Each structure stands twice: as structure tokens, then as C-alpha cells.
Amino acid sequence: MKKRNPLWAVPGKLFFLAGLFFFTGCFEPPSAARSAARPAPALKPDSSGSPRNREQESSLTIIAAGDNLIHDIIYNSARIDGGFNFDPSYEHIKSIIESADIAFVNQETVLGGEQFGHSGYPVFNTPQDVGLGLINAGFDVVNHASNHTMDKGEKAVYGAMDFWDAHPEILYLGIFRTEEQRKTEKRIIEKNGITTGFLSYTYGLNGFVLPPDKPWLVGMIDRDVMAREIDELRPLCDLLVVSMHWGDEFQHKVSETQRELARFMAERQVDLIIGHHPHVTQGVEIIPRPGGGFLSCYYSLGDLLSHTQSAWTPDTVTGALAYIRIKKTWTAGTSGAAGTSGAAGASGAATITVDRAQVIPTVCHYGRERGSPFIVYPLWDYTDELAALHYKKNLTVEYFYRLAWDTFGLRVLEKTTPR
């Protein structure tokens, strides 16, 4: 499946924050599906006819989604003859997902296989057709390190890996077949001349434990392990992304543990954190790193597709898609090798910056009638007419926008008319 970068219109003011530019902006959906990854830009000769000593630039866009948390009511609403069809659940965000060079999602519930019995809360096993829905929607990086990874045991984790290994176009994170694989097979994607490395960790496993002989099976938050794996991956990529399943459920407030871990990763030169688990959104922080550059931390993107219930908050039905744009600059005639990651480095080394860190708010819609489908909308396409039909009562578009602006402020993107 091919990708293209979207066009972005930025009206009015520019806001400067922590050494990076972030914009109030507008999303302009692409008119076609993804195009092939762009080649490195052609070198322009200087006055002597030499292409050397010219600054060159490449860019990469990342879309990231939060929890894809499939309760039984969701997969039952997606039943068709012979299986399940989840494509309608993502059809309204498909063009956004496909516009990115890399599209990440946290697949919260394990795709163990039907031999383990499909199930919902509290011990999940999700139909693998959900994985097909994610592929068809345009996601190509899928995280599996969550508190539900071990819900159906070790064999179900291997069942999930069997499914994804049959789809080699997808990079899956947080679960591993062998200790050797975890040590040697680094999760790296190269696009547009930019190499992006991924790591993934979860705070816990809901009381389940890893097999005594397989402590490497799931990425767990352990500072010693994280430090070693970050340090090993850092020299191999331009951009280092860490997926973090962390935080307190139903809390918009970022915990001190989250902040401490984020600063720990900043010290180790991580570029981007994609956070999830609280089921509600939390803000974005730009953290200076020792020696220069910044870490962009999305503490929580909330739920993408879920039926997470909370008696006191409607906020579990609204989440966010992160929109991140990466720039790589280097001097023409050099290799453009990684190594400076946002800081001024040696002559000839590439410099990587996160020059946009924004969000597209979403709503998970489901009605009150039995068998109502679960459908994710970008908030800009959601209406008060739909809100009046939502299972959760007294919702309005204004409420969702106020929540998005309270959480993300000027990072919230709006839609423009296609050109």
C-alpha cells in the first residue's frame, strides 16, 4: 500500500515553543492513495558546477493512534457470514492514515487466534480480522506490548505473531519469538532517506506473568533493559521512537511516573514517545535533551476504537491521531548519516528535528440500538446530529472540541477544503 504526504495550510500566526515551531494548522486530505516513498532530492550544483556543500532536506510524516481495544460488543457488531469485517470502523479515518509515510496503532488486545476463543473484557482475545481491518485502513506499525498481551497466555502471543508474520508489510512491536530475535532483529523502517527505529514497553500485564524461561517475550518497562536497548538502537537510526503503555486510567493528568520516565528517555536521546493506556487523552510535552535537541512526548492518545465505559466521564469516546513531521537536513556530497538527532553535530552528519507535533481529534461513535456499528470519525466530520444518537447521552461537538483544546491547545488541526 503506497503513501503520500498530505498538503498542509497554515493560517495566521506561528508559535515558537522550546526551540521548535508548532502551528495552528489545517489538514488537507490527499486526492489519491499513498505514493511511493520519495527519493532523496536531486543535488543542485554550486557556482563551480559541484553539487557539494549544499544543504539538502528530506521529510517524513507519522500518524499515530491510541488504543484499539476490542470489546466483545464491538466484534459482535462486525460479524458477517464466515467471520468479521472491521473495514467500516476505520473508513472515515482511512484517508488520513494513508496520507502518512508511517502509521502506528496500539493494538491493545491480543490477536491470538480463534482456537483460544474470542473474548472481551476483562480477559481479551480479539478476532484476527481486526488486524486485516488495520491493514486495510493503512496502518503499518502495530504495537502489542500492553497490559492485555498475556490475557490468553504465551501461546496466544505466538498466535498473534503468526498472524503478523503472514503480513510482512507490517512491522509489529513489543512481542518477540526468541531472545535472539529481540537482541538482534531491530525494528527499523527506512523511508524518504530517513531511518526510524522503534521500541515498545508496557507497565504491566494485569496480574499475568511472563513464562519464567521467556522473560524477553513482551517488552516491559524496566529502566536497565530500556537503557540497554535504547543505547543499542540509537546509533542505527535517524529517529528513535518509543511506544509506552503507561499512565493512570481515566486521568487526563500526567502522572509523575510518566514524567520521570520521559525525562529518563530524553537523557538517552529518544526523539519521540507515543503514549497510550489511560483511555483518555493527555497532553504533549517537548523536553530538552542533554547535549541539544528535544524529545516530543505524546503522553496519551486516548482510545481509537473501544467500548471503554466509565460512569463519570464521556471522554473515553474521544481520542486523537498524532501528526508528526520529521525533517532531516544534511550537506550535499556527504552520506547524510544519522548521529545528531536534533542537535548540531559534526560536519557532514545529518540533523533530525521534529518540526510539527500536532493532533487530529477523533470520536468513536456507536448508537443505542442493538448491534450498532462502532465507527471512528475525525472530529471535524462529526456532527451534533450524530452525537444525539450516541450511546453516551448529552454529547456535543462543542464538548469534544473544548476537551481537545484544553488538552492539546494550539496543536489541534482543522480540515481545509481539498485543492
pLDDT at res. 55: 86
Encoded amino acid at 259, one letter = R
Residue 100 forms part of a structural domain: yes
Q: Which of 231-240, 244-253, 282-291, 327-336 has the lowest mean pLDDT?
A: 327-336
Between β-strands 55-68 and 318-331, what pairing exists: parallel, antiparallel or unpaired? antiparallel
Confidence of residue 53 (pLDDT cuts 50, 70, 90): low
pLDDT higher for 28 or 171?
A: 171
72 membership: H or E segment, kind and range: helix 72-77
Mean pLDDT of 28-41: 40
C-alpha cell at 23: 502551528
**CA triple 230-231-233, angle to 5 deg:** 65
Look at residue 175 and tell me whether its pLDDT is greater than 80.
yes
Look at residue 5 and tell me whether its pLDDT is greater than 60.
no
Residue 217: give its domain's CATH number.
3.60.21
Mean pLDDT of 356-374: 96
Residue 285 forms part of a structural domain: yes
Look at residue 33 and tell me whether its pLDDT is greater than 90.
no
* Residues in Cβ contact with 140 at an 8 Å cutoff, skipping those fewer than 6 apart: 1, 102, 103, 169, 170, 171, 189
Percent of the chain with pLDDT over 90: 79
Cα–Cα distance, 393 to 130 (Å, whole number): 28
Residue 350 forms part of a structural domain: no
Confidence of residue 4 (pLDDT cuts 50, 70, 90): very low
Residue 97 forms part of a structural domain: yes
pLDDT at res. 418: 39
Residue 356 forms part of a structural domain: no
Look at residue 43 and tell me whether its pLDDT is greater than 50.
no
Confidence of residue 12 (pLDDT cuts 50, 70, 90): very low
Residue 273 forms part of a structural domain: yes
Look at residue 47 and tell me whether its pLDDT is greater than 90.
no
C-alpha cell at 140: 503499518
Residue 365 forms part of a structural domain: no
Mean pLDDT, the chain, rounded, equals 87
pLDDT at res. 309: 81
Mean pLDDT of 172-183: 98
pLDDT at res. 54: 80
Comparing CA positions, the residue from 183, 165, 184, 226 lying closest to residue 201 is 226
Q: Which domain holds residue 274?
A: 63-333+373-411
Cα–Cα distance, 283 to 264 (Å, whole number): 18
Look at residue 403 and tell me whether its pLDDT is greater than 90.
yes
Residue 252 forms part of a structural domain: yes
Number of domain units in the chain: 1
DSSP 77: H
